[in-house]
Amino acid sequence: MSFGRKTVAYFCMEYGLENSLKLYSGGLGILAGDMLKAAHDLKAPVVGVGIKWLRGYTEQVIAPDGRTVDCYPEHEYPYLEDTGVTVTVKIKGQRIACKVWRTERFGNAPLLLLDANLPANGERFYTSFLYGGGTEERLAQEIILGVGGYKALKALKIDVGTYHFNEGHAVFAGLEMLRELVEEGAGFKDAIEKVKERTVFTTHTPIPAGNERHPMEALLYTGASLGFTTDQLNYIGNTPFNMTVAALRLSRRANAVAELHGETAREMWRAEQRCAEIISITNGVHRPTWVAEPFLAEGLDPDGVWAAHCAEKRALISLIEERTGARLDPEVLLVGFSRRATGYKRGNLIFSDPLRTQKLLDGKKMQVVFSGKAHPRDLQGRQVIAELVRMTKEFPRSVVYLPGYDMEIGRAMTRGADVWLNNPRRPLEACGTSGMKAAMNGVLNVSILDGWWPEACEHGKNGWAIGNEEPASSVEEQDRRDAANLYSVLEQEVVPTYYGDRNRWKRMMVESIRSCSEQFCAGRMVREYFEKMYR
């Protein structure tokens, strides 16, 4: 397809391109990295805009009692290129210099990174901690990303046709465009229409608390208001200022990241006026990054897939032993659960019924590997990790918590597990791209029908669904019902097939790869963005 000549500027707070480039916290960053890699593969005119984080996201260590300890070592990035450009933004009335770095080292479209950790800025460490600090620090980071990123593109003379805000963090780029237009003489509402002509937006989290809101006073104090009045800011993003609403009102088009997520997002924001319509473009993953080489081949046969999978499983078991000392059994069904530790993802759901859990784990029918980080301020997520660590002590031969979750662990688990478990409270999973990676490696998904899985699941053919799409009357009812359905599908379908019908299991692995590899790849996602959002 023809992508046109003008550049798409893709703004995101985090990027997961390679394990040594510690610029990401989780799924949002990994998606952004895959987006840039797929754009490079397709030779699509995309440039990424982000921040060079000195300390990045937490390097979380698990104490013996299950407590999470957050560490923030400094990172060096010797493979970034100096563009020679420095731009300035105003934060709390002070001019803050932002150096612009660039990298294409990882087979990605160009990525520009703003760096405010400069001697000229003194002790103002705005680009040290990804998602660190309180409201003022977060607004400062978002001014750097949005306003600084917009200025960097202009300074580098990049001909931008569309500004794409991946989540609301970059919305101040839209306000900076708006400020310029008003300064040039356009009326406020006419200027908004001109900004919308150039801007699109992707919304991710369906959790209300995950959609940032800032007090109007904080915008005025930090300078994020960019000279607009409180009435004008309210017109753009409400009071308090909602970053998602502002992005929806400053964009010509918006999208959710799965079909079901589109329904959820439209319902979530239906009361807001003057917002872009939200369509659905399901996420995809970069196959060369995440899929083991044997599964990229054409004409896969069941025995060959099984042999390649067993090699990946042994590699995962070796990694687990190296990192934890635990030695899992390669002959026992291995279930993987790897994602951000937070309450609604319910990492502990599989332990809801102690007797049924004990039969599966002590009976050597199943072993489970967990990994993931909790946000440093997510107390519920920390409690989930503590409970999972406690389970490793109760079932030391069958349950492992793999600390230090990163791209390396994510890659090993989505290649080496037999089953990929996903059981969030529906419909709170926006997409869940780890399940796509697992599916393309022949790892069979066992998942709630949430995120991407309703679009892919052929129950009993390429994986299994946990329950159905019928809504529950309460959170407690949903948890109870989903736990019962999880045990049933494990006991009655997954375990019997793995041990009693290995040929069927192999055929399901082939079907998982066949049915998911093209439909959920990042190349398809990028093409769809150009067809539906950037045109």
Residues 296 and 223 occupy one common structural domain: no
Tell me the average confidence (pLDDT) per consecutive run of 10 residues in the chain, 535 residues long: 87 96 95 98 98 94 87 92 98 97 97 96 90 93 98 98 97 98 98 98 89 96 98 98 98 98 97 97 98 94 97 98 96 96 94 96 96 92 94 96 95 98 95 97 98 98 95 93 97 98 98 98 98 95
CA dist 397 → 176, 351, 401 (Å): 56, 16, 12
DSSP conformation class of 493: I
Domain span at residue 70 reads 7-284+524-532
Neighbours of 170 (CB within 10 A): 28
Residues 334 and 451 occupy one common structural domain: yes
- Predicted local distance difference test score (pLDDT) of residue 183: 97
- Predicted local distance difference test score (pLDDT) of residue 126: 94
Sign of CA dihedral 100, 245, 526, 3: negative
- Predicted local distance difference test score (pLDDT) of residue 5: 81
| Token pair belonging to 442 | 């022949």
Contact 334, 313 (CB under 8 A): yes
CB half-sphere exposure, 225, CA atoms < 13 A: 23
Contact 83, 113 (CB under 8 A): no
- Predicted local distance difference test score (pLDDT) of residue 318: 98
| Token pair belonging to 138 | 């977060």
Residues 383 and 326 occupy one common structural domain: yes
Q: Is residue 292 part of a domain?
A: yes
Compute the distance between CA of residue 516 and CA of residue 398 in angstroms, rounded to an integer. 30
Looking at the 3D structure of the chain, how many domains does it have? 2
Bridge-based pairing of strands 463-466 and 444-448 is parallel
Helix (H) or strand (E) holding 101, with range, is: strand 94-103
DSSP conformation class of 347: T
Residue pointed to by tokens 């924001």? 269
Compute the distance between CA of residue 113 and CA of residue 102 in angstroms, rounded to an integer. 6
Compute the distance between CA of residue 532 and CA of residue 112 in angstroms, rounded to an integer. 25
Residues 250 and 372 occupy one common structural domain: no
Task: Please give the single-letter amino acid code of residue 361.
Answer: L
Q: Is residue 242 part of a domain?
A: yes
- Predicted local distance difference test score (pLDDT) of residue 314: 98
Residues 301 and 185 occupy one common structural domain: no
Q: Is residue 91 part of a domain?
A: yes
Q: Which long-range contacts (CB under 8 A, 24 or more apart) does 85-91 make?
A: 85/152, 85/155, 85/156, 87/114, 87/148, 87/151, 87/152, 87/155, 88/151, 89/143, 89/144, 89/147, 89/148, 89/151, 90/143, 90/223, 91/124, 91/126, 91/140, 91/143, 91/144, 91/222, 91/223
Residues 426 and 377 occupy one common structural domain: yes
Q: In terms of Cα–Cα distance, which of 370, 530, 527, 491 is closest to 41?
A: 527
- Predicted local distance difference test score (pLDDT) of residue 361: 96
Sign of CA dihedral 289, 207, 468, 400: positive
Residues 175 and 37 occupy one common structural domain: yes
Neighbours of 404 (CB within 10 A): 14
Over the range 312-339, which residues count as b (16 or more CB within 10 Å of their CB) and which as e?
bbeebbebbeeebebebeeebbbbbbbb
SS3 category, 127 = coil
Q: Is residue 377 part of a domain?
A: yes
Q: 250: which residues sit within 8 A by CB, 6+ positions away? A: 171, 174, 175, 178, 192, 195, 196, 199, 201, 236
Residues 381 and 451 occupy one common structural domain: yes
Q: Using omega within 30 degrees of 0 as the cis cutoff, is the peptide bond preceding 240 cis?
A: yes
Q: Is residue 182 part of a domain?
A: yes
Residue pointed to by tokens 């308090």? 240
Contact 115, 197 (CB under 8 A): no
- Predicted local distance difference test score (pLDDT) of residue 366: 97
Residues 445 and 412 occupy one common structural domain: yes
Residues 313 and 277 occupy one common structural domain: no
Compute the distance between CA of residue 511 and CA of residue 136 in angstroms, rounded to an integer. 50
- CATH number at 277 reads 3.40.50.2000
Q: Which residues pair with 419 in a beta bridge?
A: 335, 444
Cα dihedral: 475, 480, 484, 486 (round 10): 40
Q: Is residue 2 part of a domain?
A: no
Question: Beta strands of 374-527 (E only): which ranges?
Answer: 399-402, 419-422, 444-448, 463-466
Sign of CA dihedral 471, 476, 479, 480: negative
Q: Is residue 241 part of a domain?
A: yes
Compute the distance between CA of residue 438 and CA of residue 461 in angstroms, rounded to an integer. 15
Residues 331 and 241 occupy one common structural domain: no
Cα dihedral: 235, 239, 240, 243 (round 10): -20
Residues 210 and 309 occupy one common structural domain: no
Compute the distance between CA of residue 524 and CA of residue 433 in angstroms, rounded to an integer. 14
Q: Is residue 1 part of a domain?
A: no
Task: Please give the single-letter amino acid code of residue 231.
Answer: D
Contact 14, 32 (CB under 8 A): yes
